[in-house]
C-alpha cells in the first residue's frame, strides 16, 4: 500500500501536466482545433508556463514549424535528421531557438504565430525561465523532507515529464508504428505512445488532419486528450471545432466502398 500513494501523486502530476500540453498548448493554441472560452484562455495563459516550464507562444510556434516542415531539413525535431535518440537534444535546442527568435522578433518566428494575440510570457521576457523549475524543485524537496523521498520524486517526474514525453512523440511517432494515411512525412501511429501520452502518439492521423481535435481514426486508437476535450466542452470551458474533426475509419471506408 505504501507505494500506491506516491504512484497516485505521480499520476495526478503527470495528468495535470499532460492536460496542459495536449489540450491547451497543442489542440487549442497550436492548431485551434478547440476554442477556449475567454476565462479558460486567461486562466491557461496565467498558469501554463508556471505548471510546465514551457512558454505557450514559443511552444505553439515551434510546433507549427514542425507541421510546416515535417521530417524535412527545417523540421525543428525530426528523427530523420537528428536520429531517434538525438531528438531528445534537438527538441530542447529548437525550443530555445524559437523562444529567442520570438524575443528578438525574428520574422520567421513571428510569421508562424501572427494570430496568437498575446506576448511571450513575462517570465521569459525577463530572463526568469528557470523560476518554475526552481519552484517545482523546491516543492519536490519539501515533499521529500516532510513525507518521504518517493513523494518528491513522483511530484517532480510527473510535472516535469515533458522532455521524455516530447521525445517519445517526436521520435517514435515519426519512426515506428503503423500508418493510416499516406502523408509527405514519416509520421506513424505507435499505439503504446498514444495510450501513455493522451493520444499524442497518433502522429500520422494528426499530420493528415492537423485541425482535428480528435486524433483517433480507428476505434481502438487511444486518445484520452480528446476525451478530456469532450469533458471540458460539457462544463463550458471550451468548444470543439466540429467542422474540422477527422472522419472515423468505419465511416470513411463505407464512403469509399
Ligand atoms: Zn509530428
Ligand atoms: Zn500538431
Residue 4 Cα, ligand 1 centroid: separation in angstroms? 34
* Residue 122: exposure state from Cβ atoms within 10 A (0-12, 13-18, ≥19): exposed
Element containing residue 34 per DSSP (H, E): strand 34-36
Residue 67 Cα, ligand 2 centroid: separation in angstroms? 7
Q: Where are the domains of the chain?
A: 4-256
* Residue 239: exposure state from Cβ atoms within 10 A (0-12, 13-18, ≥19): middle
CA distance 91 to 165: 11
CA distance 79 to 221: 23
Give, rounded to a whole angstrom, the gap between the first and last alpha carbons of the chain: 53
Question: Cβ(36)–Cβ(43) under 8 Å?
Answer: no
Neighbours of ion ligand 1 (CB under 5 A): 203
| pTM: predicted TM-score of the whole model, two decimal places | 0.94
Query: What averages of pLDDT result for each successive group of 10 residues across the chain (257 residues)?
Result: 86 96 97 97 97 97 96 92 92 96 95 95 96 97 94 95 94 95 95 96 97 96 97 97 91 74
Q: What are phi and psi for residue 215, nearest 5 degrees?
A: -95, -15
Amino acid at each position: 500500500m505504501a507505494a500506491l500513494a506516491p504512484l497516485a501523486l505521480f499520476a495526478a502530476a503527470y495528468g495535470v501536466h499532460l492536460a496542459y500540453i495536449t489540450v491547451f498548448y497543442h489542440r487549442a493554441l497550436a492548431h485551434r482545433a478547440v476554442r477556449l472560452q475567454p476565462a479558460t484562455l486567461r486562466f491557461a495563459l496565467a498558469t501554463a508556463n508556471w505548471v510546465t516550464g514551457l512558454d505557450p507562444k514559443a511552444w505553439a510556434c515551434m510546433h507549427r514549424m514542425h507541421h510546416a516542415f515535417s521530417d524535412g531539413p527545417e523540421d525543428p525535431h525530426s528523427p530523420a535528421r537528428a536520429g531517434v535518440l538525438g531528438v531528445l537534444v534537438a527538441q530542447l535546442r529548437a525550443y530555445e531557438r524559437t523562444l529567442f527568435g520570438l524575443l528578438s522578433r525574428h520574422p520567421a518566428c513571428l510569421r508562424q504565430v501572427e494570430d496568437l494575440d498575446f506576448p511571450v510570457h513575462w517570465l521569459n521576457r525577463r530572463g526568469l525561465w528557470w523560476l518554475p523549475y526552481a519552484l517545482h524543485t523546491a516543492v519536490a524537496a519539501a515533499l521529500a523532507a516532510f513525507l518521504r523521498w518517493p513523494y518528491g520524486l513522483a511530484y517532480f517526474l510527473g510535472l516535469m515529464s515533458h522532455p521524455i514525453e516530447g521525445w517519445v512523440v517526436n521520435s517514435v511517432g515519426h519512426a515506428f508504428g503503423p500508418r493510416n494515411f499516406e502523408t509527405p512525412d514519416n509520421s506513424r501511429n505507435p499505439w503504446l505512445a498514444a495510450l501513455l501520452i493522451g493520444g499524442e502518439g497518433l502522429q500520422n492521423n494528426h499530420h493528415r488532419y492537423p485541425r482535428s481535435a480528435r486524433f483517433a481514426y480507428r476505434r481502438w486508437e487511444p486518445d484520452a486528450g480528446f476525451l478530456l476535450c469532450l469533458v471540458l466542452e460539457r462544463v463550458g470551458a471550451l468548444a470543439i471545432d466540429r467542422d474540422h474533426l477527422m472522419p472515423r475509419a468505419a465511416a470513411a471506408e463505407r464512403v469509399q466502398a
